A and B are shown apart, each in its own frame.
Chain A
Amino acid sequence: MKEPVVKLMQGNEACTEAALAAGCSFYAGYPITPSTEIAELMAERLPIYGGRFIQMEDEIASMAAVIGASLTGAKSLTATSGPGFSLKQENIGYASLTEVPVVVVNVQRVGPSTGMATSPAQGDVMQARWGTHGDHPIVVLAPSSVQETYEITIEAFNIAEELRVPVILLLDEVIGHMREKIVIPDKDSLKITNRKKTDARPEDFLPYKADEDGVPPMADFGTGYRTHVTGLFHDETGFPTGDPKKADALLRRLHEKLDKAKDRITLVEEIETEDADIVLFAYGSSARPALSALRQARELGIKVGLIKPITIWPFPEEVVDRVAKKAKTIIVPEMNLGQLIREVERASRGQADVIGLNRVDGELFKPEEILEKIKEVR
């Protein structure tokens, strides 16, 4: 194995490099701050490897194009920010129902509306889960450093391919633009997952008949299977159905395939939660000052822990439940007016006090602010 490469890199750049390492060969996007570097780098890098880049006429078209490309077998990526993420929602739902693997990056900025384009926020946490209509399954990941952005981008592709589900990678303006040291692992050491392909004969192939794991094997367009893909509710044949039983079975299976993989796809870091009286629950760039506050509090003799979810959806409720049994208080610092705190409250089931700490001014939390809150609730 070769030596890993050490570099200074932006989060957006790390995301691009990781996508390429994961085997991404198609990108469609539309320029929007603070995600544009991903498009620019993809435009430069993809053709070198024989991949293809296109700047579409709008965000909706970009989302559509990556789904079309994925159906031919290409691992596909698009990146955007708040307003563009809103526009992509209908087709994200399409990918969810039709089970087309795609990765969507949302480098969050302050909203609603045009908001503050160059300032970080965590206001799209609920939209990432519920942005498109209907009871759709989706996976949302939120790294908190440039290093993690690299690793989690690869994970995003792996989950999308394994489970045939759109995966949302939630960065924010700080993670996207910050330059940090990053250790790029040797390509041979990476675990890369590719979608299951069918080995059935075309005449026997049922494109939406799932295996044990709830995931149907795929047949790429152009390989002789002549499959039909539709956003209408469909049965195992892929053709539309109005049968209530089949409709029910389809939607439940889409959720069950995620439930079955929940342990594997729910990535959570726990830091010193074992003996903690006060636990911080923080994700994305808010997890960084939270960790500093934890260190400072420990020096003062306050028993503080940190739950740092990388997978936000599915929500890591078992971890919160277990930690809430022992802890007195859970503090949830978020760069929004309190979104994921609702899930923390639900999962902790009244076993601990849950207190929010919120910023919506486009500024990061300072460790001191979080430390103050810790002292206050102590």
Chain B
Amino acid sequence: MATEELLDEHFRVETMPHIWCPGCGHGIVLGALMRALEKSGFERDKTVIVSGIGCSSRATGYLDYDTLHTTHGRALAFATGVKLANPELNVVVITGDGDASAIGGNHFIHAARRNIDITTIIFNNSIYGMTGGQYSPETPEASWATTSPYGHIERTFDLAELAKAAGASYVARGTTYHVNPLSNYMLKALKKKGFSVVEAISGCPTYFGRKNKMPTGTLMLQWQKDSAVPRTKADKLSAEEMKGKFVIGELQDIDLPEYTEEYGKVIKKAQERRR
């Protein structure tokens, strides 16, 4: 299907134009998700898309699905209620780096630990864009933000490693520069039973870029191209060689019991015991 047809199919075109700045990477991430959703075979009327608060979380308003734009950091907690109450629904979460890793960090860990069948797409643009450029747990070390006017001293939180350790079934990281693989990871994540995460490195030229000598969408893409290291190559590099870079690729793909299926067994057990 041509892009325009896909837009008509998956988007509420009447809600356009979107709120994102010129050069913002979020449209690319959402486009990749749209293509993945198209290929997934998910029935649109049986798919719920949930988001938190922030630039990326506004995406739910544009998508022609049942959509739930929730409170800051809590998208996964709302989504857990949706999925557990009706496991027949496909549930996708759209969240930003601040939303997922700071205020919503606990929900992220526990959704992964439960391995509930929710696909989480993290739009990671390294900054709080909606509020004007404050650092997030994903802001690279030694870069600049409005709340780190003397340079950023905190270490970056590797959300993919966190998701792996907490027990997610599928974890991948891509960028808006490597857009086709990104969309492919999303498709695999959507089809994977269990908790799946795709971290999409996105660009914010307006706030992150401007503070860090990358004030255009093109420069942000160039930075992604230069900093992304495929997993196979990264395995052979030392920590020193990986400094300032990040790994892309499929980082975990395992089969584990899925939460709502396990709860289905609980229901069966409770009803049998009753009899």
Contact = CB atoms under 8 A, between A and B. Distances in A.
A226 to B, nearest CB: 6
B68 A68 contact: yes
Interface of B: prevailing SS: helix
A233 interface: no
Contacts of A62: 77
**Among all A-B residue pairs, the 5 with the closest Cβ atoms:** A68-B81, A65-B81, A64-B77, A69-B85, A61-B77
B77 A224 contact: no
Interface stretch (A14-22, A47-55, A112-120, A148-156): A47-55
Given A47-B270, A48-B271, A72 B85 contact: yes
Please indicate which of the listed interface residues A50, A90, A91, A230 has the most CB atoms of chain B within 10 Å of its own CB.
A230
Nearest to A227: B66
B43 to A, nearest CB: 9
A47 B84 contact: no
A320 interface: no
Interface string A65-95: 1111111111010000000000000110010
Contact of A69 (B65, B82, B107): B82
Contacts, number: 138
A76 B66 CA distance: 19
Nearest to A223: B45
Interface of A: prevailing SS: mixed
A226 B82 contact: no
Contacts of A68: 50, 68, 77-83, 85
Given A222-B88, A239-B61, A61 B48 contact: no
A61 B86 contact: no
A228 interface: yes
17 contacts: A26-B84, A52-B263, A56-B110, A57-B110, A64-B71, A64-B74, A64-B78, A65-B84, A67-B78, A68-B77, A69-B82, A91-B71, A91-B74, A223-B45, A228-B60, A229-B67, A240-B61
Interface residues on chain A, size class: 35 or more
Interface string B40-55: 0000111010100000
Contacts of B60: 228, 230
Given A60-B74, A230-B69, A224 B45 contact: yes
A26 B81 contact: yes
A230 B110 CA distance: 24
Given A47-B266, A48-B270, A67-B81, A57 B107 contact: yes
Contacts of B74: 60-61, 64, 91
Contacts of B236: none
A226 B64 contact: yes
Given A65-B80, A72-B82, A222 B70 contact: no
B274 interface: yes
